[in-house]
Chains A and B, each alone.
Chain A
Amino acid sequence: KAGVTQTPRYLIKTRGQQVTLSCSPISGHRSVSWYQQTPGQGLQFLFEYFSETQRNKGNFPGRFSGRQFSNSRSEMNVSTLELGDSALYLCASSTGPAKRLFFGSGTQLSVL
């Protein structure tokens, strides 16, 4: 069974631009969560989607948004990028809420 797939693996953007990251969950998994990982703040929860509905949201500004499609694939978008948005963005899937999380390898975003 294929694991969680995140694309792209690496991304370089400049301040003010926007970016879209993609996550394909493990087949049969209907819940997708997103986390931001930085050296200073560690791993922080962004949001969780289940059956195309946002179930939980972390304490991030409105520039961070996400969505989930009917095939459970998910995207997150960051608008008006700031230098501080440079981070590893991790996606995790599970069979449902409160079930074991399986993480992808992440998208490393660098904002210049």
Chain B
Amino acid sequence: TQLLEQSPQFLSIQEGENLTVYCNSSSVFSSLQWYRQEPGEGPVLLVTVVTGGEVKKLKRLTFQFGDARKDSSLHITAAQPGDTGLYLCAGARTGTASKLTFGTGTRLQVTL
């Protein structure tokens, strides 16, 4: 059972466009993380959100944690080819924070 559903599954856009990736669950998580994974590499942590309603910004990336701590979104402004990769959300529960439940993933391709 996949507890974290991401949408869209695939996204192909041109440089300069904006996009939003969604991560939804019916379960509550104590924190939610976003990772980016490039071919041949392991996932790299982008951000961790822990409070319902929290918004964090990382340059052109904006992350939001839902009020009920069941969902999250990642918004990229003015996408660049360097943003290309597999974006993964991952939820952690209290007491088992290292046992992450990963989302289904969103594969993003940004072309010139």
Residues of A within 8 A of B (CB): 4, 31, 33, 35, 41-45, 48, 55-56, 58, 90, 92, 94, 97-106
Contact = CB atoms under 8 A, between A and B. Distances in A.
Contact of B97 (A44, A97, A106): A97
9 contacts: A33-B98, A42-B88, A44-B102, A45-B100, A90-B42, A97-B98, A98-B92, A101-B100, A103-B42
A32 to B, nearest CB: 10
Interface in B1-44: 2, 40-44
Interface of B: 2, 40-45, 48, 88, 90, 92, 96-105
**SS class, residues of chain A in contact with chain B:** strand
A100 B50 CA distance: 13
Nearest to A94: B98
From B44, B97, B103, residue with most partner A Cβ within 10 Å: B97
A56 B41 contact: no
B96 A56 contact: yes
**SS class, residues of chain B in contact with chain A:** loop
A105 B98 contact: no
A49 to B, nearest CB: 10
Contacts of A44: 102
Contacts of B90: 43
A45 B104 CA distance: 14
A105 to B, nearest CB: 5
Given A4-B42, A100-B45, A56 B98 contact: yes
A56 B97 CA distance: 10
Contacts of B88: 42-43
Contacts of A103: 41-44
Nearest to B43: A103
Contact of B99 (A45, A94, A100, A104): A45
A111 B105 CA distance: 24
A101 B102 contact: no
A42 B42 contact: no
B98 A43 contact: no
